[in-house]
Amino acid sequence: MKLITAVVKPHRLDEIKEALQAFGVQGLTVTEASGYGRQRGHTEVYRGAEYTVDLVPKIRIEVLVEDEDAEQLIDVVVKAARTGKIGDGKVWSVPVETAIRVRTGERGPDAL
Amino acid sequence: MPPGITTLAADAPELSAANTGFMLICSALVMLMTPGLAFFYGGMVRVKSTLNMLMMSFISLGIVTILWVLYGFSLAFGTDVGSVIGWSSDFVGLSGIGVTELWDGYTIPTYVFAVFQLMFAVLTPALISGALADRVKFTSWALFITLWVTVVYFPVAHWVWGAGGWLFELGVIDFAGGTAVHINAGAAALGVILVIGKRVGFKKDPMRPHSLPLVMLGAALLWFGWFGFNAGSWLGNDDGVGAVMFVNTQVATGAAVLGWLAYEKIRHGSFTTLGAASGAVAGLVAITPAGGAVSPLGAIAVGVIAGVLCAMAVSLKYKFGYDDSLDVVGVHLVGGIIGSLLVGFFATGGVQSDAKGLFYGGGLEQLGKQAVGVFAVLAYSLVVSAVLALILDRTIGMRVSEDDEISGIDQVEHAETAYDFSGAGGGAAPRNTPAPGTPATPTNKKVDA
């Protein structure tokens, strides 16, 4: 199995979710995150005092998949997340040793 | 505060049910300004000190209410003693006042006047709190309020509004509190922060407002309540002056919103929400002393000037290095001075009194009187407030420890957290209460080991 993690622009969440559902993914986890890449942050002004806000709001999406689906699923996520502008985010995958469905105790790919 | 409307009621005035009802509603409106101010300030601080900011205003509703009943009303509005203070034993505890006894020269009961003025006394020390955000021990603040209203607010209210008070007798025009409330609170704020110093990380750490919607809500409540504060200060509606004040309050405030936003757009590039809310408060402050003396066009001028100058003034703290955290000096002191002095330029002589300003052929006489009022209140409040802060700082200490300030004053002083948005409840579990359905057992009791 592989864990696909995507840190992307928050307003792309719905697109990504729909694309993953169409692909056949049964479940995913979304976390609100903040961070920056090459686009850095932005400037805000409060009563004339300027603040550089480095950390930009992002969402972090995590999906567990079987090995053979991983590459294709990454492509789906990248396509749905892309706006072509700076700050679109990153997607990566890592191998996963095991996964357990808490309710039934099923292990491995059966738990997905 | 106007002289008695004796021209309309040459004989003894009679109780007016309309004026009495109006004034009771105005009193409730002014009461709402204190929690409104709490929201206005509360939204501007960082998350970790939201509750402390709210409480610094809210506690005034408790403390000053009681002090006002015990002796405050007597000191401010009792029989004049030497032009500087009042005293009437009937007013102590409000217990010697007859139910139908009318306030001298007016058509409303003394009780109504007393409760209307009570709300002003509650609001004024709360205004100071914005300058002291994030860093003052709550008990020290409570003691400061107690001392401050006693030796600063009650006497100054007497000077400005009390029959026989020296600024009142001099002819200083302060319709609803430009000097007694706003310059007074702004100067006090400056005096205290010069003693207690800056927040940890001032000018280094980002100190963004944590909730601008809360700031906007607070500004809206202030604006709404301010109609009672301003229009009610004429203590009745027999001659239309209160209505002029009401109109000018709206007009100047709208103009000040535009003035602040225009300055900000040109200077910093954006129309900010905080700028709009701050402009509204600056306009309200500036029209407070002036609204009964100027025309609606004059009110536009007062509002625009206050909006622009206050927007400029809030940056002074970075230049001079004093930490006026939420700009009490920049908005209330500067706005109060602007409004009080502009009376000397824009008074038409046709509304609350026949005193004319410079632009209406009145020369410099009224402007001179206004300047005396401004300077007297500013100097007295600044010096006495600094001394009070110094005494408290040297005895019980004004500030929380640096560690507590950094980790957040809410938990240290109030044992609470402002927001809990996490489904996990922040990991909180009851310490001393038994789980539902289980009887209390000794194991549930707190053990001091």
Structure-token pair, residue B88: 């009437």
Contact criterion met (CB < 8 Å) for A50 and B268: yes
Specify the pTM.
Answer: 0.90
- Give the residue ranges of DSSP H helices in chain A: 13-23, 67-81
Contact criterion met (CB < 8 Å) for B270 and A45: yes
Class of domain A2-111: alpha beta
**Residue-wise DSSP of B251-285:** HHHHHHHHHHHHHHHHHHSS--HHHHHHHHHHHHH
Q: Which chain B residues are closer than 8 Å to A53 by Cβ?
A: 206
Quote the CATH superfamily of domain B17-226+239-405. Ammonium transporter AmtB like domains (1.10.3430.10)
- Nearest-Cα distance to chain B for A79, in Å, is 32
* pLDDT confidence band for B446 (50 / 70 / 90): low
Q: Which of A47, A50, A53 sits opposite B275 (nearest CB)?
A: A47
Instruction: Find which of A30, A42, A47 to mutate to test the B interface (most B CBs within 10 Å of its CB).
Output: A47
What does the pLDDT look like over A28-49, one tens digit per residue?
Answer: 999 999 998 887 788 899 998 8
Q: Which residue of B has its CA nearest to A49?
A: B315
Contact criterion met (CB < 8 Å) for B315 and A47: yes
Cβ atoms B327, B314 nearer than 8 A:
yes
The per-residue pLDDT for B153 is 98
The helix/strand/coil state of B57 is helix
Please state, in angstroms and rounded to a whole number, the distance separating the CA atoms of residues A100 and B141: 56
Q: Does B274 touch chain A (CB under 8 A)?
A: yes
pLDDT over 70 (residue A14): yes
Q: Which chain B residues are closer than 8 Å to A50 by Cβ?
A: 268
What does the pLDDT look like over B222-262, one tens digit per residue?
Answer: 999 999 999 999 999 999 999 999 999 999 999 999 999 99
Radius of gyration, alpha carbons of chain A: 17
Q: What are phi and psi of B207, to 5 degrees?
A: -125, 65
Q: Where are the domains of chain A?
A: 2-111
The per-residue pLDDT for B4 is 47
Contact criterion met (CB < 8 Å) for A50 and B264: no
Q: What is the DSSP letter of B151?
A: I
Please state, in angstroms and rounded to a whole number, the distance separating the CA atoms of residues B347 and B175: 12
Please state, in angstroms and rounded to a whole number, the distance separating the CA atoms of residues B54 and B435: 32
* pLDDT confidence band for B6 (50 / 70 / 90): very low
Structure-token pair, residue B117: 């003025």
Q: Which chain A residues are closer than 8 Å to B43 by Cβ?
A: none
pLDDT over 70 (residue B220): yes
ipTM above 0.95, yes or no: no
Q: What is the DSSP letter of B326?
A: T
Contact criterion met (CB < 8 Å) for B267 and A48: yes
What does the pLDDT look like over A62-96, one tens digit per residue?
Answer: 999 999 999 999 999 999 999 998 889 999 999 99
- Nearest-Cα distance to chain A for B378, in Å, is 24
Q: Where are the domains of chain B?
A: 17-226+239-405
